[in-house]
Structure 1
């Protein structure tokens, strides 16, 4: 009895695995829907470039979708705004009282008058040292500056070359809270604040 042997199967390279391709167009709502889903879970503004990278689509498609969403939200209780170098969904200012009552339950967490004054001086005269801010306000601002730092409204931006004093400026979070794209959108308050040269004189007088 002759025993036959089955030929061994040919061994070749493993089959190629299809790459995980993100098909945004096939999703419900397409590109605008995908962008909406991302914006609903972010804690800070997202740039159009970051959205295009995440969704693996050309930047112009993201830009068109963002503009379409802005128009689509017209007349709603929320809106899409470009703030602090990115995009984020906000409730409309017209509903601020209702939102504050729900979120805060009547408790207003506001900055003190001293903090607001200090923040305004830093915003309009940045980068600026604590000594110069103290010279304008006429009081020590160390505690106020610590408060503003802890709330993420200001940050250290460097040091003065002559004295080594720490310089402070506002943050992206500051722009976000005020609903500004950049510092150029600040109200025209700077002309009413002392010039840098005057701040130097005031600071020097305070040290003497």
Structure 2
């Protein structure tokens, strides 16, 4: 009687079938198909400005009509998925075209970006429509104070008051509330608050930068003279 070497209760587990040689290739093919499908989907989402009736010019106009502040050429190029150089050329062409067509609006580079504005020749009718005949202009005192800040910024309140010869606290508050000036830190010696103009100031005056301000600085006192005046006022 032969001895049995089998263990009671043992169960034979079949070995896993070998992986077919072509399964890896099939998986790679599936992955390639999925990537191709994703690329095709991305291509469908990409903008083709040539398909728009007005091309890149019409697409730019559509965007510029809905912005409430100047937008850079880079931002426009990103939105339209076009080279920045092409967008800048199209913007210049739009601006030139509006001038030639004598349109009631124009396109101008202001504050580092581009925005559509009504032409200044039509200011009376626009003002009448927006303000309904009411004038909302800055006072002479506000304009003078704003001019001093624009040309001498960053400048303290005491120096502005020294130039104008009057207290400017109320005017400074008005200019701050209208967003035309802002605080620019503190003077290292006196710790007085320094003020400067804002990007909104540039936008309202139609300027690209402070370098475009009219050459009025030579008519204002020099910095050392302002110091003497300010020191004399505090004596």
Distance of 1:35 and 1:144 partners within structure 2: 40
Q: Which consecutive unaligned segments of at least 5 residues does structure 2 have?
A: 1-25
Pick from 149, 160, 169: which aligns with 2:176? 149
1:169 partnered with 2:200: no
Residue by residue over 1:140-164, the C-alpha shift from the partner in whole angstroms, topping out at 9 and shown as x without a partner, is 2122111111111111122211111
How many residue pairs align between the two structures? 199
Question: Counterpart of 2:107 in 1: which secondary structure?
Answer: strand
Superposition pairs for residues 31-50 of structure 1, below 5 Å? 31-50=56-75
TM-score (norm 1): 0.90
Distance of 2:54 and 2:134 partners within structure 1: 39
Tell me which protein shows more helix as a share of its residues: 2
Distance of 2:155 and 2:91 partners within structure 1: 36
Superposition pairs for residues 14-33 of structure 1, below 5 Å? 15=34, 16-17=37-38, 18-19=41-42, 20-33=45-58
Question: Counterpart of 1:80 in 2: which secondary structure?
Answer: strand
Distance of 1:29 and 1:136 partners within structure 2: 53
**Residue 192 of structure 1, CA deviation:** 1.2
**Residue 42 of structure 1, CA deviation:** 0.9
Whichever of the two has the greater Rg, that structure is: 2
State the structure with bigger RCO (CA 8 A, min sep 6), 1 or 2. 1
TM-score (norm 2): 0.80
Superposition pairs for residues 108-187 of structure 1, below 5 Å? 108-187=135-214
1:54 partnered with 2:83: no
> Counterpart in 2 of 1:86?
113
Question: Counterpart of 2:59 in 1: which secondary structure?
Answer: helix
Q: Which consecutive unaligned segments of at least 5 residues does structure 1 have?
A: 1-9
Computed over aligned residues only, the root mean square deviation of the Cα atoms, in angstroms, reads 1.6
Which stretch of the first structure deviates more once superposed, 137-146 or 108-117? 137-146
